[in-house]
Amino acid sequence: MSTTTTSHHDAHGHDDHGHPTGLMRWVKSTNHKDIGTMYLWFSFTMFLFAGALAMLIRLELFQPGLQFVRPEVFNQLTTLHGLIMIFGAIMPAFVGFANWQVPLMIGAPDMAFPRLNNMSFWLLIPAAILLLASFFVPGGAAAGGWTMYPPLSVQGGMSIDMSIFALHILGVSSIVGSINIITTIFNMRAPGMTLMKMPMFVWTWLITAYLLIAAMPVLAGALTMLITDRHFGTHFFNAAGGGDPVLFQHVFWFFGHPEVYIMILPAFGILSTIIPTFARKPLFGYASMVYATAAIAVLSFVVWAHHMFTTGMPVAGQLFFMYSTMLISVPTGVKVFNWLATMWKGSMTFETPMLFAVAVVFLFTIGGFSGLVCAILPVDIQLQDTYYVVAHFHYVLFSGAAMSIMGGVYYWIPKWTGHMYDETLGKWHFWLTTIAFNVTFFPMHFTGLAGMPRRIPDYSQQFAEFNMISSLGAFALGLSQLLFLYVVIKCIRGGAKATNQVWEGAHGLEWTVPSPAPFHTFETPPLVK
């Protein structure tokens, strides 16, 4: 970049060297760090928006009776909260981490296809606008839930078409980004960086990228069939025309189950980076971690119908999916064991990233156990569509994925900004988030076991106390994320200088790997800088 103070900007927003400046620097950026930063800010914006929807849901459920929103608006809140959290918050955040860290960790100058990288980010913006706007058009964002089950999703208004189109665009973005990540990892590793020497985070993203390429077209197929049912007179899911609504569930969950692992595998990679650093020991059982990740990826395609135990499947099918679901908990258990063994007899210190990592291991394990409970066929027939399931997947997705993202931000933000974050405020954010999360979701195990159905705006008096506790926890959880925003902005704007060895210990290497200077242009970058 230009070092002279006299450089002027031309009418097209470029400096003397032809590099975009100002807003154009971001719009045209082909630099993996800038694009990673944009992914992370986009994700955090969506996280706050979807969290606000969740707080409205909990406001309505604060006490029995209909208070704040009409039942159809309540359905829209649950639908959009799910879609935006999954496709707008969790997934883009992990892609942001991949953009920032994968090239640095494997010694590559950038991603393999920098312009494709730019495209895969900017596709998110129209998709997000469509998703958010679907809330405001007549008919609202569908009673079919985030899963968009027919027949409800066949009958709704144009908001459902907007949601479907948004998901198509997000799917294209994911597939394109995954191709980019796989190509980068296979073709651009530094000399000597064999596959079995790659950091665990790179491995988890390599496997996640394959899952995305396999799963997203399946979702596209289900949504395309849904669109033709809605507008072109087909009857894929219409029983009156010889179709089958349960077919949609099979196709959807054949995407949806790998999807939940797409949202947790990069989190495992982040944990496998943070824990060895603060235990000051190498990761225990590196090879077994790689194989466990691959095993999870393969098995994630043969467990989909455990979401459908109450749809009238043959008993043989039910038994297969029960056993395969129990089997997939084995490689996950291997990972938890390896993290605990990494911490065992380590010289541990508990800075904010490590606090998040330890909490994730503990809380994610609770979510894993409740998932094992749901895998037991006769038990799940009782628990299907109750708040027990809501508790289960939030323990996996919030305390597994979202809190890993927070820990990863605290871990890498000194590298990204050159400044240290405020450790005291970071710890405040950790404790507020962790306590509020458990206050919100732990009582849902009890309301679910007692039979309270999910996605219903009103409920029986017997559930009032637990719902009040959950709602108070949810408000605290939402507000504590504003502290996170403050810590991040404060760190970006200044603070103590970060050193080369931010986290002392055996794993400081990635801090000292010099990364190439940013090159923001659509021109061909010079080979010699």
CA-atom Rg of the chain in angstroms: 23
What does DSSP assign to residue 497? B
Q: Work out the number of other CB atoms within 10 angstroms of the CB of residue 316.
A: 8
* Distance of alpha carbon 416 from alpha carbon 424, whole angstroms: 20
Three-state DSSP class for residue 189: coil
- Helix ranges, 384-463 (H): 387-396, 403-417, 423-449
Residue 267: partners with Cβ closer than 8 Å, 6 or more residues away: 94, 360, 400, 401, 404, 405
Q: What CA–CA distance (Å, rounded) separates 291 from 4?
A: 52
Please report the DSSP string for 209-226 in residue order. Answer: HHHHHHHHHHHHHHHHHH
- What is d(CA 165, CA 91) in angstroms, rounded to the nearest whole number? 18
Residues paired with residue 453 on neighbouring β-strands, in sequence order: 386
Strand segments (E) across 88-188: none
Q: How many CA atoms within 13 Å lie on the side-chain side of 21?
A: 14
Partners of 14 in the beta sheet?
20
Burial class (CB in 10 A: 0-12, 13-18, 19+), 194: exposed
Site of tokens 């103590």? 496
Q: How many helical (H) and strand (E) elements, i.e. helices and strands, does the chain have? A: 20, 0
User: ∠123-232-145 over CA atoms, to 5°?
Assistant: 55
Question: Is residue 528 exposed (0-12), middle (13-18) or buried (19+ Cβ within 10 Å)?
Answer: exposed
Amino acid at site 405: I
Sign of CA dihedral 340, 345, 350, 352: negative
CB atoms within 10 A of CB 17: 10
What the block records as the tokens of 117 is 């990288």
Q: List active site positions.
A: 81, 110, 146, 173-174, 257, 259, 261, 272, 306-307, 332, 335, 454
CB proximity list for 239: less than 8 A, separation 6 or greater: 245
Beta pairing partners, 419: 497
11: burial class by Cβ within 10 Å (0-12, 13-18, 19+)? exposed
What backbone phi and psi angles, to 5 degrees, belong to 124? -65, -30
Tokens, residue 517: 């200077």
